[in-house]
Chains A and B, each alone.
Chain A
Amino acid sequence: AQTVTQSQPEMSVQEAETVTLSCTYDTSESNYYLFWYKQPPSRQMILVIRQEAYKQQNATENRFSVNFQKAAKSFSLKISDSQLGDTAMYFCARMNRDDKIIFGKGTRLHILP
C-alpha cells in the first residue's frame, strides 16, 4: 500500500520557537506532488506548502519551509518563529498521477504562549 506516515501524533512548542514536523511516504512513482495542509480547530483545511518531486529545491512560504529528501522519501515541515495561530492539525499528503491525495494521520501542534 502506498502510504503517508506522520510519526508524531502531537507536539507542543513555545511561541517564537522553531518546530519541525516529520513525514515519510511510500510511492512507486518517480513524479508526484507533496503537500502540507493545516486544519485549525473547527475550521477548514488550508494548504500550507507544496513541493513538486521533480524539483530539487526545497519549497518555502514565509515562515514555513520543507526539507524534501527524495531518495529517503522524507518530507518534513519546519515552522520558524511559531505563532499562536499556528496551533492546528497538520497533515502531510502526497498526490500521484492519478490526482488522488493520500493523507497521513496528522500531527496535532500546540503553540504555547
Chain B
Amino acid sequence: DTGVSQDPRHKITKRGQNVTFRCDPISEHNRLYWYRQTLGQGPEFLTYFQNEAQLEKSRLLSDRFSAERPKGSFSTLEIQRTEQGDSAMYLCASSLDPTTLAHKDTQYFGPGTRLTVL
C-alpha cells in the first residue's frame, strides 16, 4: 500500500493560466474525493467519484473547475483561467465504496498540491 499520491506538490502560476493536478488513489479504492483547504481553515469538499462516475459537485466548484477520472483509477483536477482566489491546498482522498452507512470506510488523504496564483 503506497498511499494516496498527488502531483505536483507545489504549483506557482500566473493569473489567467490553466493548471492541472493529478491524484493517484490507493489501488483498491473506488471512491475518490477532492477537497480545497485555504490557510487557517479546514478542508472543504469539492467533488467526488465512484469509479469513473462523478457523483457530486460542490457549489464551490465554479465552471472554471473540471475533474475527471477516466478509467476509474487516477483523477485530474483542472482549473482554467486561474484567479488569485484559487490559491489554496488541493487535497485528494480515497476510500472503499461503502454499501451501507454502517460500513463506511475511512477516507485516506494525499499530501496535497499547493497552488499559488500570482
Give the B-binding residues of A (Cβ under 8 A): 4, 31-33, 35, 37, 43-47, 50, 52, 54, 91, 93, 95, 97-106
Contacts and interface: CB of A to CB of B under 8 A. Distances in A.
B74 interface: no
Interface residues of B, number: 23
Given A91-B42, A100-B56, A45 B102 contact: no
A37 B109 CA distance: 10
B80 interface: no
Interface stretch (B11-19, B21-29, B43-51, B63-71): B43-51
25 contacts: A4-B42, A31-B101, A33-B101, A33-B104, A37-B109, A43-B111, A44-B109, A44-B110, A45-B109, A47-B108, A93-B42, A95-B104, A97-B101, A98-B56, A99-B31, A99-B48, A100-B45, A100-B56, A101-B33, A103-B42, A104-B42, A105-B40, A105-B42, A106-B40, A106-B42
Interface string B98-112: 100110101111111
B109 A46 contact: yes
A97 B99 CA distance: 11
Interface string B75-118: 00000000000000001000000100110101111111000000
B90 to A, nearest CB: 13
A99 B42 contact: no
A103 B101 contact: no
B42 A54 contact: no
A89 to B, nearest CB: 9
B21 to A, nearest CB: 15
A46 B42 CA distance: 13
Contact of B98 (A4, A31, A54, A99): A99
